[in-house]
Amino acid sequence: RHYGRGKHTLRVASRANTHTHTTHKHKRMSFQPYQDNGGTGLAIAGPNYCVVAADTRLSTGYSILTRKSSKLITLGPKTVLASAGMQSDAIMLRKVLRMKSVTYEHEHGKPMGTTALGQLLANTLYGRRFFPYYTFNIVAGLDDEGVGAVYTYDAIGSGERVSHASQGSAQALIQPLLDNQVAHSNQTTEKRILSLDDAIALAKDAFTSASERDIYTGDTLQLLIITEEGIREEHIQL
Amino acid sequence: IRVWWCSKRVIMGDNIMTYNGGCSVAMVGKDCVAIASDRRFGLRQQTLACDNERIFRINDRTFIALNGLGTDVETFIEKLCFRLNLYKFRESRDIAPRTLGSLVSNMLYEKRFGPYFVEPVIAGLEVDKATGAVTPFVTAQDLIGAPCFPGNFVVGGTCSESLYGMCESLWRPDMEPDDLFETVSQALLASLDRDCLSGWGAVVHVITPDSITTKTLKARMD
């Protein structure tokens, strides 16, 4: 019922216009199990070397959490894992892989090779098919013959061996550059095999370009160079 | 209107800008510019044509490429030609690239709350009447006409992230026309190969003060 004259009416609650339902609409509180911490990794395989690179920026939303977080971990004497995506899942994944590879070493009397670690990662990721590790991984190293091997995976373990790969927030920016320079795609001149120095220079160039255009990539570039002698580390400011 | 908008979303899907696919890039060289695009026209994943023209010649010194929804590309270029004919009548001269950029920006912003789903890329040579000096010029805008003038290269379309990565790595200042052609071609082809919605060949125009060279590239036809 309305009381008062003209436009200014006093609306008095009566049974006619009182809402009788007791439930009220409220925002559904939900827990988001995943977050994207950004970052990018790449790997290039050569005839007797493997170059793995990743940036060290950790972000959430539009903020930077730290500029010094590593995405690379050494899984075996000749194998490195690069994980981009959610950092807590990456840490958990590393722990699980480390546990399994130590068990393997005890059982077989020798450390796991790159191909074996590649398969182990694929199986581990698929084991969590219905609640995945939110990580985008690259396994890189030297295979049993001493030739560079790079395996690239999606979040649920679909992977393959390739000559070059990139994963993470700047994947779309870096992958075509690697296709063009490593695999020599769309070029009519004779293909040349990249030397180790060329591959390192290419990785640095790819990351400097990616840091220009991708906000989640930057700060420092951590490079691991795997050769017969072992694994060498370099740090470059971006 | 509400019903029309809902049904359009059902037809077009979640992203109107990726419905037809396609991409383009423009780069600045030494007294020259290059503009290139792919030739695919599709409906989501289905390819319908492999000879789609996305780059339009405005005059001998100015080209525009339109990425985005195919029907809006056609409509917008027709409206643009209408405005350019009026410009020609009034000014009795060809439009300069920078002025074209302003015109396109204005036309797009007119439709601020119901835009044309096109993202233009403009490339051209600015000629100084007094000295005859030629300055290469590129610009790109979003669908409501916000321009950027980076001075080196601009990209647009479904594989724009890949194009940014390629151009950022391959571009260097003061490239001669032949070098510029190679650089634009490699940047575009490498990016096309990583995008399902772009491809089926490419067209590259290299514009110098004396000539326009048009080349069609045969890439992976898939």
| CB-CB neighbors (< 8 A) of A172 in chain B | 159, 161-162, 165, 194
pLDDT band at A221 (very low <50, low <70, confident <90, very high): very high
What percent of chain A is modeled with pLDDT above 70? 89
How many CB pairs below 8 Å do chains A and B form together? Answer: 58
Examine the pLDDT at A77 and tell me if it is beyond 50. Answer: yes
Tell me whether residues B169 and A213 touch, CB distance under 8 A: no
CB contact under 8 A, A172 and B219: no
B192 → chain A, closest CA residue: A176
Whole-prediction pTM: 0.87
* Cα distance between residue A151 and residue A161, in whole Å: 4
Most A CBs within 10 Å, among B166, B172, B184, to test the A interface: B166
Residue B96 is classified by DSSP as P
Integer-rounded Cα radius of gyration of chain B: 17
Residue B147 pLDDT exceeds 90 = yes
- Run of H or E residues at B188: helix B177-192
pLDDT in tens, B110-136: 999 999 999 999 999 999 989 989 999
B171-214 pLDDT tens trace: 999 999 999 999 999 999 999 999 999 999 999 999 999 999 99
Determine, for residues A213 and B186 on separate chains, whether the beta-carbon distance falls below 8 Å: no
CA B150, CA B121: separation in Å to the nearest integer?
12
Instruction: Note whether B190 contacts A179, CB cutoff 8 Å.
Output: yes
ipTM for the complex shown: 0.87
Residues ≥6 apart with Cβ < 8 Å to A216: A38, A39, A40, A57, A59, A168, A169, A170
